[in-house]
Chain A
Amino acid sequence: MTEVSIEGLTKDYGSSLAVNGISVKIADGEFISLLGPSGCGKTTTLKMIAGFEDATAGAIRFDGQDVVNVPAEKRDIGMVFQNYALFPHMTVAQNLAFGLEMRRVSRSDIATRTARVLDMVQLSGYADRYPRQLSGGQQQRVALARALVIEPRILLLDEPLANLDAKLREEMRVFIRDLQKRVGITTVYVTHDQAEAMTMSDRVVVMFGGRIAQHGSPSDIYERPASLEVAQFVGQVNILEGKVVSPAAGDLTPVDTVLGQFLVRGVAPDANGTVTLTLRPEAVELASADTGGAQATVSASYYSGSLVDYRLTLDNGQTINVQTFPRNRWAAGDRVTIKVDGERFWPLGAPS
């Protein structure tokens, strides 16, 4: 039951500012992801929460109590490392028991707690194996179990799925998320994989260059990105220039674009009345018949099983990317009509 509050956290390495005054509040039991490209300061932030790195400035509070001067071994955190960092000379059971021994838990309690957590990660029969005798996914679950068995105040995960193959990675996402929900532990998850951050988190914190670019729910981040950088980092995006036709009526503004005129939410036009709109590829629908929308020519199509990606060329020469289900298929050279709902546009620079 721990709520984490980070205020003005800064890490100055002398030559560079790795983390530049970030502030986040993490509610009790919340799963939050720090998402960003390598070097954005997400791992440094995690290490400061863990106590492996000293903060240059700012505060980290667990339930209101500043832990900046508390050494890592006394912070009561559970940490899962990218390469798992299981102790190779200890069995699974000994790995799990280590943290409990440090807490002077009695021998019989160690046995029951270890067994319970191993059962939770579905590794009951593996107590006497050594880490080298386990597969990557199993090692991953042991690492989780080792972090959870001490019943820490918060759980920190540093790109824990980066070393697994694609299929296992998707299974583990669900597994970790379900486990976290069941245990109800406050969790901070570091990743550079946007899909991971989106599927697992209650809230995503997008970081660029040591600062928070945006934080919000996965759908906030994806559908209402605060900047072009964020929009592009969390998925593919089309950029369209728009011209405000008349002043907003309520929060809807009529905007003229190359795809036609739409009522767009949240527009804050510049002095010239222009606005930059983002449009996700899957927000666009295509039709063969001319239903009155903008016309385009298919210049390429990429089939990936459940989805098809099209590259379209509009009549003014602009390229637009579209993603649809493969119910109807078009080939290069086909003419298509584009259908978009105005709600699916999101203006950049919008007040969020």
Chain B
Amino acid sequence: MSKPLLTGYCLVIYAFLLMPILVVVGASFNAGAFLTFPPQGLSFRWYVVFFNNDVFMRAIRTSLWVAAVSTVISGIIGTMAAMFYIQHSGRWKESVRLAMLLPLLLPEVLTAISLLFFVYSIGIGTKTIAAMIIGHVLITLPFVFINVSAAMESYDPAWSLAARSLGAGPITRFRRIMLPLIKPGVIGGCLFAFIISFDIFTISFMLKNIGTATLPIQLYDYLRTNFTPEAAAVSTVSIVLTLAVVIISEKVLGLRIHRF
């Protein structure tokens, strides 16, 4: 394919992928009373409405909190699982991998229903937010596992042996040698986990306790009865939040891949 043609092709694909987002962002600046595109005049009025809406503000806080907690749990479990997976070669290796990826392969609604039965049968129920966090961890775990095990592929086991011969115990070896070297994978995996968790609807919907709502649930609730540009403002804010998380983690934690 010639270069201009290829460039044009890529532009079309990107436009197709990004158009819905642009439409939503555009619609959020609507001055009119209904969710339409193109917007009828420009205004920030729906952002003002949104930021003064306690229900939405609470939902955002809940979403961020749930995403943070499940990312930490997923990050720890997923990293440990990846370490186990890489260091053990045997006939169970591929089964371990498959089991870790299963939540990705099953329809989310199926996982949600099974989890609902599960949390009730073990007595947790949905009275607290724990059930929802369990669900989010389950869904986000494969993303941490995939990223960390990919980073571990380029980790030379001789580094751990060298550290051992120099007198480092298991905790020091992990903290000073392995973790810094697989850091890009861990951070990448956790970013994925955070963003996915922030976005999960079905699981949250099934497992939420009464009175708690994450942002996607609150938005869904809202759209059932209202059709104002406030919904577009909510969506835009959540897109900006997600982008902010990515950019801040890149800057602060450093996603720079080490070159060997």
Interface positions of A (Cβ within 8 A of B): 50-52, 72-79, 81, 83, 85-89, 98-99, 102-103, 131-132, 146-147, 150, 156
* Chain B residues in 8 Å Cβ range of A52: 161, 164
* Chain A residues in 8 Å Cβ range of B166: 73, 98-99, 102, 146, 150
Q: Is the CB of A98 within 8 A of B260?
A: no
Number of B residues with CB within 8 Å of any CB on chain A: 20
A82 to B, closest residue via Cβ: B158
Q: CA separation between A233 and B204, bound complex, in Å?
A: 69
Chain B interface, >50% SS class: helix
26 contacts between A and B (CB under 8 A): A50-B161, A50-B165, A51-B164, A52-B161, A73-B165, A73-B167, A79-B161, A79-B162, A79-B165, A81-B162, A85-B156, A85-B158, A85-B161, A85-B162, A87-B159, A87-B163, A87-B181, A88-B258, A89-B180, A98-B166, A99-B166, A102-B167, A102-B172, A132-B259, A132-B260, A150-B166
Q: CA separation between A89 and B163, bound complex, in Å?
A: 13
Known: A79-B162, A81-B161. A98 touches B168 (CB 8 A): yes
* Chain B residues in 8 Å Cβ range of A103: 167
* Chain A residues in 8 Å Cβ range of B161: 50, 52, 72, 79, 81, 85
Q: Is the CB of A89 within 8 A of B258?
A: yes
Q: Give the contacts of B106-164 with A (CB-CB under 8 A).
A: 156, 158-159, 161-164
- The minimal Cβ–Cβ distance linking B257 to chain A, given in whole angstroms, is 11
Q: Is the CB of B260 within 8 A of A99?
A: no
Known: A81-B161, A88-B181, A98-B163. A73 touches B259 (CB 8 A): no
- The minimal Cβ–Cβ distance linking A306 to chain B, given in whole angstroms, is 37
Q: CA separation between A52 and B167, bound complex, in Å?
A: 13
User: Does chain A have a CB within 8 A of B177?
Assistant: yes
- The minimal Cβ–Cβ distance linking A38 to chain B, given in whole angstroms, is 17
Q: CA separation between A132 and B181, bound complex, in Å?
A: 14
Q: Is the CB of B156 within 8 A of A73?
A: no
Q: CA separation between A321 and B195, bound complex, in Å?
A: 73
User: Does chain A have a CB within 8 A of B176?
Assistant: yes
* Chain B residues in 8 Å Cβ range of A83: 156, 158
